[in-house]
């Protein structure tokens, strides 16, 4: 499917917004939902009771810009096999692919997947084995593949997510790989440090600022490595 056809289909279902961002040395054209709050009306009471699922995927979060710049500009991802959890509209995964990584881009919300595909296509990225898009529940990882790099931006917003995310990292990360999780210093997010120690991970934290919405935010990037005896 072409980008134009996919965008037309999404425009029939959503009010769309589009912007171009300078991210990790590339100008990325990103399409998203114009008003994510409008999506709340689409969530049935039954769906909410089942998952307490909110349309977080529809927002473009500042941590995604910070994580993209950090991984591409400071860590280097060329030639690495990566997976992104909770990708939303795909900003980080697209930045990694543009920088030469092979990426599996995932989100639990199936609605997000077509936005990821659209944003990839309109930034010149083919939907092939080097840029795979799939639905994934980090509470139930069934992938056999392990990755050089696991990444996620703005996923540590609820306490109940912390342990499932860490256990997902444990399953998806190669023994010598690193997982990077970016968060804008939410108090809840710091709870993952104790869980990491309990589950034989070492953690280092880097902080980077970003100007976003007329504010300067500090974003923490947690780097998780499996301890040698894990």
Angstrom distance (rounded) from CA 203 to CA 196: 7
Backbone phi, psi, residue 88, to 5°: 65, -120
Other beta carbons within 10 Å of 77:
24
pLDDT in tens, 197-227: 999 999 999 999 998 778 898 999 999 999 8
Angstrom distance (rounded) from CA 122 to CA 14: 18
Other beta carbons within 10 Å of 147:
22
- What is the pLDDT averaged over residues 107-135? 96
Angstrom distance (rounded) from CA 158 to CA 176: 28
Question: In a 10 Å sphere around its CB, with 0-12 CB exposed, 13-18 middle and 19+ buried, how is residue 213 labelled?
Answer: exposed
Superfamily in which the 3-226 domain is placed by CATH: Vaccinia Virus protein VP39 (3.40.50.150)
- For residue 166, pLDDT over 50 is answered with yes
Angstrom distances, CA of residue 24 to CA of 48, 60, 71: 36, 16, 8
pLDDT in tens, 175-201: 999 999 999 999 899 899 999 999 999
Residue-averaged pLDDT of the chain: 90
Angstrom distance (rounded) from CA 10 to CA 41: 17
DSSP letter string, 34-67: S-GGGGGGGS-HHHHHHH----GGGS--HHHHHH
- For residue 49, pLDDT over 50 is answered with no
CA atoms within 13 A on the CB side of 142: 5
Question: Could you tell me the residue ranges of all domains in the chain?
Answer: 3-226
| Residue 48 confidence class, pLDDT cut points 50, 70, 90 | very low
Are 184 and 210 spatial neighbours (Cβ–Cβ below 8 Å)?
no
Buried residues in 17-55 as b, exposed as e (16+ CB within 10 A): eeeebebbeeebebbbbeebeebeeeeeeeeeeeeeebb
- What is the pLDDT averaged over residues 56-67? 89
Q: Which of 35-49, 74-88, 186-200 has the highest mean pLDDT?
A: 74-88
Residue bearing tokens 């590339």: 26
Buried residues in 130-140 as b, exposed as e (16+ CB within 10 A): ebebeebebee
pTM > 0.85:
yes
Residue 229, pLDDT score:
61
């Amino acid at each position: 499917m072409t980008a134009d056809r996919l965008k037309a289909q999404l425009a029939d279902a959503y009010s769309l917004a589009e912007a171009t961002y300078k991210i990790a040395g590339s100008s990325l054209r990103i399409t998203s939902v114009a008003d994510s709050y409008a999506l709340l009306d689409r969530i049935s009471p039954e769906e909410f009771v089942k998952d307490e699922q909110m349309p977080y995927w529809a927002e473009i979060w500042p941590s995604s810009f910070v994580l993209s710049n950090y991984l591409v500009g400071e860590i280097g991802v060329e030639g690495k096999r990566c997976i992104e959890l909770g990708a939303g509209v795909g900003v980080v995964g697209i930045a990694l692919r543009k920088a030469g990584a092979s990426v599996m881009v995932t989100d639990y919300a199936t609605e997000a997947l077509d936005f990821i595909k659209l944003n990839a296509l309109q930034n010149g990225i083919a939907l092939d084995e080097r840029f795979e898009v799939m639905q994934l529940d980090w509470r139930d990882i069934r992938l056999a593949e392990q990755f050089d790099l696991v990444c996620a931006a703005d996923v540590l917003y609820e306490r109940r997510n912390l342990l499932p995310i860490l256990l997902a990292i444990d399953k998806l990360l190669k023994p010598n790989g690193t997982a990077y999780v970016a968060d804008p210093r939410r108090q809840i997010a710091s709870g993952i440090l104790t869980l990491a120690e309990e589950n034989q991970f070492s953690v280092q934290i880097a902080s980077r600022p970003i100007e976003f919405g007329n504010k300067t935010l500090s974003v923490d990037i947690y780097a998780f490595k499996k301890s040698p005896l894990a």
